[in-house]
Amino acid sequence: MTTNIHNFIGGEMLPASVSHYTSVYNPSRGEVIAQAPDSDLQAVAQAVQAARQAFPAWADTPIVERARVMFRFVHLLEEHFDELSQLVTREHGKTLDESHGDVRRGIEVVETACHAPTLLMGQTLDQVSRGIDGRVERHPLGVCVGITPFNFPAMVPLWMFPIAIVCGNTFILKPSPKVPLTALRLAELLTEAGLPKGVFNVLHGGAETVDALLTHPDVAAISFVGSTAVAKHIYETGTAHGKRVQAAGGAKNYMLVMPDADLDAATGQIIGAAFGCSGQRCMAGSVAIAVGKAGDPLLERLDEAAKKMRVGPTDSGSAVDMGPVIDAVARERIRGYIDIGLNEGAKLATDGRGVSLTEATDGFFVGPTIFDHAAPEMRIVRDEIFGPVLSVMRMEDLSDAIAQANKSAYGNGAVIFTRDGGAARMFARYVNCGMIGINVGVPAPMAVFPFTGWNQSFFGDLHIQGIEGFHFYTHNKVILSRWNDPGKRVQGW
């Protein structure tokens, strides 16, 4: 039996009076576990009104008190760590270890938010002109909105709302309708941490809900993570309506393997980057370029490692290395790309379409898939597949490999495996993307650093996470003050 889940507005779980719901699946079983409402304009107005009404009092709350809410929230996240991880596994399909990482990386952002009294300090300059002192203060924006994807039900929302809220803003989270349950549990824990009603709200829905938020006059800022096409729409629509927008899009991340690399270590890193979270992450390594003599021995190791991976349901407690993809639509799209790669002439070294599972289930599975001799013009090289498909290219020269990586329209991450410091420096300096890994398979930054996608992987000026996150959720106020001279001089001046 499935249940209709509610919006969380003004500190209460409120049923949505809508006729259309989106099914929420357990991807490991292919079973519907809940129904998420497609909120209408009335629900959007209700959520924005609750956030707008809560803003003045929350913005006036001393920063140390806002930070204390985050300290209590961290404590609750740790206390419910296993529960949250199991919830992520249930509605997303990640392995439990991957869900642990999802929740842990989100907690690290909340820990960073606890440092807000230091990170939000302004600047002062005494006697900037004769008799005039100047200072800069950081002030909250107002009602902020986060629109998040299915692939990290805990981490990506936690990238956004802890920083926005501790800066003094109120927040509306619009999670993916495919993974709404974790978002609602986070709302409950925030309430338990002492956050006032209306400061944080959860609104379910699809494209109509998003567009209503993008154009609402009382929304000040939009944060988004998802595909590039939607990120561009979010940015263009939001900015056209006067919003501050940060929109992270898709990616096609390259991994270069030099002839001098430790191939055993590189293989483990590449397998994790390509097939971790079933390839459903914007930092997935989806193209490997074997440089020079690295090609044959690398491919042999990758094929062997991929075929040893245990694939199966993640909700039964059995040991698996990779779980399902999010739903049947994703499964068929990924299988379609495998067909495209074959038709384009790539050699299918490891075929995940008929993967043997650890146990029989009706879940949404595609196994690890590796193409060899992929070419630059192929769609499997150019398109973001967002699944467990790795394309291996072969090139003779590092410069040519960097040039190939730089042809990508995207710009999230790029990685090199080498023992040569000069090669690593050249790669880091000239590859055209925002996050670089040197012998690191997934160069996703820790919470204190910004998530710096470039090109078609990001639209906006200030990135998610790190100090840029604090700057995004605040604006500067410059104050110049002059006071009449009392006419008395301090001795010695």
Task: Indicate the pairing of strand 369-372 with strand 347-350.
Answer: antiparallel
**With 0-12 CB in 10 A as exposed, 13-18 as middle and 19+ as buried, what is 262?**
middle
Q: Could you write out the DSSP letters of every residue in 37-68?
A: E---HHHHHHHHHHHHHHHHHHHTS-HHHHHH
Which of 344, 449, 341, 444 minimizes the C-alpha distance to 387? 341
> Which DSSP category does 34 fall into?
E
The set of catalytic residues is 282
Beta carbons of 26 and 315 less than 8 angstroms apart: yes
Measure the CA–CA gap between 260 and 417, rounded to whole angstroms: 8
First to last CA, the chain: 81
Tokens of 148: 């998040």
Beta carbons of 405 and 289 less than 8 angstroms apart: yes
464 three-state secondary structure? strand
C-alpha dist (Å) from residue 382 to 256, 389, 391, 481: 16, 13, 10, 56
Task: Indicate the pairing of strand 123-129 with strand 132-140.
Answer: antiparallel
User: What type of residue sits at position 143?
Assistant: V
Measure the CA–CA gap between 427 and 365, rounded to whole angstroms: 35
409 three-state secondary structure? coil
